[in-house]
A and B are shown apart, each in its own frame.
Chain A
Amino acid sequence: MTGPLALSVVIASHARHLRLRWLLNALEEQTLDAPRWEAIVVHDYDAATAARIIGDHSLAAAGRLRHVGIEPGTGSPARQRNIGWRLARAPFVAFTDDDCRADEGWLAALLVAAERAPGAIVQGATRPDPFEHALLAAPHVRTLLIEPVGPFAQTCNILYPRELLERLGGFDERAIAGEDVGLSLRAQRAGTAIVAAPEAVVFHSIESFTLPGILRQNLKWRHLAYLVKRHPEVRERLFMRIFWDADHARTTGLALALFAGARRPALALLGAPYVVAGVRRRGPGVVPRAVAIAELPGQAVRQLAEVAGLVAGSVRHRTLIL
């Protein structure tokens, strides 16, 4: 597929320099002709790390990778992505994250879909990285599975026409979480379609955490209330218009059971759906069930903390989301 520069890949990177390196290696293997795309990384690494990981990469040597370092502590996904797409030279901007690995046909498939649907946002498929499947055995993991078109337009695998980003002013830099959802909602409100490109695949890392680690990771979700406040239409995608998903609804029931069940025993039954779902979490069979039961306390702490965070966010932003 020869032709002029068509795609700029924008990556915001923070605290994952090795995974960024792996992503750059995956981009180097793209089947889309080299002159048709470029990459831009916006990061907050020190100069030595940036030189070693990014500056020294063969894509940089070939003049196809640029990078911008910002002061540590001043970055955010929204801000860094905005810096990146404003430097883009191509008419299409593809976003992915530094904890993803692009399949070799990713850019070619995104470009085909973008050219077939002028002006549209294109969402590809995101799958847990098969290289890291063993980590799914951990009690607390973070990964993503998205078959497009999903409800949240995550930036792990999405393409925007540059002109659209300019028109919308890019990502909302006041948003600490859900800035990608916010942008897609503003685009849809402006009449933009989102089309699927299921052949455009990225593989998302599967990372395991300790319980304190996953609690820290999940702190940012308390800011989802800001997204819901700014975009009330998100409630159409929530479970019963209040809960982020069915898990959170069950966790809220558990919270009520724990705190009010002693005084009113009937309320203890509100915890039953959580326990039933929790026991089934690892699938059927004696061993999976035993593992799920052993993990139940830790899962409960994690999910109760998530809901508690959302309560705090709801109070702050004066809109209820659990």
Chain B
Amino acid sequence: MSLHIALVHHDPAPAVHELAAALEAAGHRAVVVRAGHGRGRARAGEIRVPRLPERPLHRRGFEGPLTHVPAAALALHRGGFDVVHAFSPADAAAALLWRRLGGAPVVFSPAEALDRERASNRRLRLELVARALERSDAVAVLDPVSAADLRRWFAVDAPVIVPADAPGHLALYESVL
């Protein structure tokens, strides 16, 4: 069965594109949902959602980016995806918002380091991270360092599935469907 998968990251790291390519090569439809200023043209296989200038929020200590979350949730709603894979706490918030409104299962894989220094260093960061870890249908990580961080700082044991491992990711998606 061919899956329609959303990979949500506001500013996709190479790992996200690598995973998208691996999933496509395995015969599935992978769409990268990313944030961008304004409504510019998105690449093929990509949806760009609007994001407002965030300097005022950043100056007030907020985690960022955040302003793309509602638009990302709307894009997920319109996309008809079978599963959503989020790569940051804010993107997981968008995915969980959509899931609460009747959307598909959510997988969370933090693409950014979640060590002590970064676990609560901005407003809303700890709340978003905790929510992503506790409420996602599955948590996996992309490398062993992230696995060690999650274990040490959040007491979460997450399997390591490298971006190029399409079968590993597909097995994870199927486990939550």
On whether A135 and B122 interact (CB within 8 A), knowing A25-B116, A208-B61, the answer reads: yes
For A132, list chain B residues within 8 Å (CB). Answer: 120-121
By the criterion CB–CB under 8 Å, are B130 and A131 in contact?
Answer: no
In the assembled complex, the Cα of A21 lies from the Cα of B114 at a distance in Å of: 14
Residues 27-66 of A contacting B (Cβ, < 8 Å): 52-53, 56
A135 contact set on B, CB distance < 8 A: 61, 120, 122-123
Contacts of B61 in A (CB 8 A): 134-138, 208
C-alpha gap A178/B155 in the complex (Å): 32
Chain B minimum-CB-distance residue to A137 = B61
CB-CB contacts below 8 Å: B118-152 with A: 119-123, 126, 130, 152
A134-B61, A138-B60 known; A21 vs B155 contact (CB < 8 Å): yes
**Residues in A neighbouring B119, C-beta threshold 8 A:** 18, 22
Known A-B contacts A18-B130, A131-B117, A208-B61; the reply to A137 vs B123 at CB < 8 A is yes
Task: Known A137-B60, A137-B61; judge A21-B123 contact (CB<8 A).
Answer: no
List the B side residues contacting A155 at CB < 8 Å: none
Cβ distance B119 to chain A, nearest Cβ, rounded Å: 7
Which residues of chain B have C-beta atoms less than 8 A from A25's C-beta? 116, 152-153
Asked if B59 is at the interface (CB within 8 A of a chain A CB), the reply is yes
Within the complex, what minimum Cβ distance (angstroms) separates B156 from chain A? 8
Q: How many residues of A contact B (CB 8 A)?
A: 17
Q: Tell yes or no: B154 within 8 A of A by CB.
A: yes
The interface residues of chain A lying within 8 Å CB-to-CB of B120 are 131-132, 135, 205
Rounded to whole angstroms, the CA-CA distance of A22 and B121 in the bound complex is 14
Per-position binary interface string of chain A over residues 117-152, scored 1 when its CB falls under 8 Å from any chain B CB and 0 otherwise: 000000000000001101111100000000000000
In whole angstroms, how far apart are the Cα atoms of A21 and B116 in the complex? 11
Name the residue of chain A whose CB is nearest to the CB of B59: A137
CB-based nearest B residue for A205: B120
Whether A131 lies near B60 (C-beta < 8 A) is no
For residue B60, which residues in chain A have a CB less than 8 angstroms away from its CB? 137-138
Q: Which residue of B lies closest to A25 (CB)?
A: B152
| Chain A proximity of B170: nearest CB distance (Å) | 28
B123 with A18: CB separation less than 8 A: no
Q: Inside 8 A of B123's CB, which chain A residues have their CB?
A: 134-135, 137-138, 208
Give me 18 other A-B pairs in contact (C-beta within 8 A), A134-B123, A138-B123, A208-B61 excluded: A18-B119, A18-B130, A18-B153, A21-B153, A25-B116, A25-B152, A25-B153, A131-B116, A131-B121, A134-B121, A134-B122, A135-B61, A135-B122, A137-B60, A137-B61, A137-B123, A205-B120, A208-B123
Q: What are some 10 contacts across the A-B interface (CB < 8 A)?
A: A18-B153, A22-B116, A56-B155, A131-B120, A134-B121, A134-B122, A136-B61, A137-B60, A138-B60, A138-B61
> Can you list the 7 inter-chain pairs with the closest CB atoms, starting with the nearest?
A137-B61, A134-B61, A52-B155, A137-B60, A208-B123, A131-B117, A53-B155
